[in-house]
Amino acid sequence: MRSVVCFIIFIFLYGCTHFKAIEDPTPSSIDSNYLTGDTTILGRYDSGYNGITVKRGDSTEGKKFVIHTAGDGELFIQSANCGIDEAVIYKDSQNISLDLQKYFGETFEESCLINLIMFPKFPDYEESEYPMRGMKSKAYIHVIPEDTKPAFLGFSNGEIHAGFSMMQIRERLRNGKIEPRTISIGTDNSSGVIFIEGCGVSLEKEYDHEQVDIKLEELLGTEYAPKDSCIFFGAVLKDDNGEEDLRDLRFAIGINVFSYKYQKLAVNLSVKGTKCTVEGSRYVSYTFIDNKVYNSNKVKFKCKDKDKTYKVRQFTVQGRGIVILIKDRKIIWLK
């Protein structure tokens, strides 16, 4: 009788800890060219496509690039113009931190695009009927001349960035057109000329007000989008009209184009007392609350600390992912 009870307990415990992946019938993120991994570069956190602006000659001492991994797995970090070619085996969702001084030297001198590919392995992956696909992400270090300033960039979704920002756009909508988006470029309330080049486009535009709004179709056309990632580089050249600060402004906008077939994930947050419940797509196999992994698309956890930011990540076996940040029991960031 005792042995039977022990056997039942063993089966119960195994059943509670056994991970089972769920089939995701939609196109994978890596095949769709959708960027999903999250990183922190010089203190700036983002998911998919991250970036930061520094001045030429700025010190690299203590400057870090951190990749936030998921589960166990392999991570490949490559950059042709920065001489980065690293392969890392990681465990337990550890953060992989790169010392940028190793690659740039004592100071930042040239801009650098870093490509990342992560191949996660979650619990019981060897027995899984649906192996996990890889995930791609990018990071860009935008180096501008020391006698210039970064221009502020605003977007239709309310985001504002200094010097560098990025967009992931669908290659076409159902009507064959590109996504309607507007980019607002700060000018320090001056007048002058804005130059934009890149992605096979050259644009010159005079201005005489605080910000210049440019529609995405002005840069990409109404029925065209690049097949892969590219970067627009821009300069705001001010007129000499007696302003105290006549320094030109510089900016760059990274574009990543993904397949029109790709389906983004969504997530809901519900709160009851000091408990938060996140529920994502039925195709989600893995949910991370901070770095603890759950084999479910719906997870309840304590969120009683109003000052703490809780990071929730969800993944399907096709590498589709979503990140949300929760503070004071509200979603403060989602991508």
Q: Which domain covers residue 103, as residue numbers?
A: 29-144
- For residue 134, give the CATH number of its domain: 2.60.40
pLDDT given at position 88: 95
Provide the pairing of β-strand 321-327 with 160-162.
unpaired
Examine residue 187 and state whether it is found in any structural domain, yes or no. Answer: yes
Query: Is residue 126 located within the same domain as residue 163?
Result: no
Using an 8 Å Cβ cutoff, are 116 and 77 in contact? yes
Euclidean distance between CA atoms 124 and 16, whole angstroms? 13
Residue 128: DSSP 8-state: -
Domain boundary among 127, 144, 161: 144
Residue 3 has pLDDT above 60, yes or no: no
253 and 176 together in one domain: yes
Residues 233 and 158 in one domain: yes
**Whole-angstrom Cα distance, residue 287 to residue 60?**
35
- Report the half-sphere exposure of 165 (CA within 13 A, side-chain side): 18
DSSP assignment of 230-279 equals EEEEEEEEE--SS-S----EEEEEEEEEE-TT-----EEEEEETTEEEEE
Q: Token pair of 205, please?
A: 């535009």
Q: What average pLDDT does range 209-223 have in this prediction? A: 81
Identify whether residues 299 and 245 lie together within a single domain: no
Strands (DSSP E) contained in 2-83 are: 38-41, 44-47, 49-55, 64-68, 72-79
Inside any domain, residue 186: yes
Residue 216's nearest CA partner among 196, 236, 235 is: 196
Q: Is residue 17 domain-resident?
A: no
The answer as to whether 81 is a domain residue is: yes
Answer whether 222's CB lies under 8 Å from 177's CB. Answer: yes
Residue 239: what pLDDT?
A: 86
36 with 57, same domain? yes
- With 0-12 / 13-18 / 19 or more C-beta atoms within 10 angstroms meaning exposed / middle / buried, residue 286 is buried
pLDDT at 220: 80
Q: Do residues 55 and 112 both lie within one domain?
A: yes
173 inside domain: yes
* Whether the predicted model's global pTM rises above the 0.75 cut: yes
pLDDT in tens, 105-129: 999 999 999 999 999 988 776 777 8
Domain membership flag for residue 302: yes
Number of domains in the chain: 3
Last residue of a domain, one of 258, 293, 325: 258
Q: Does residue 3 sit within a domain? A: no
**97 shares a domain with 41:** yes
Question: Does residue 216 share a domain with residue 315?
Answer: no
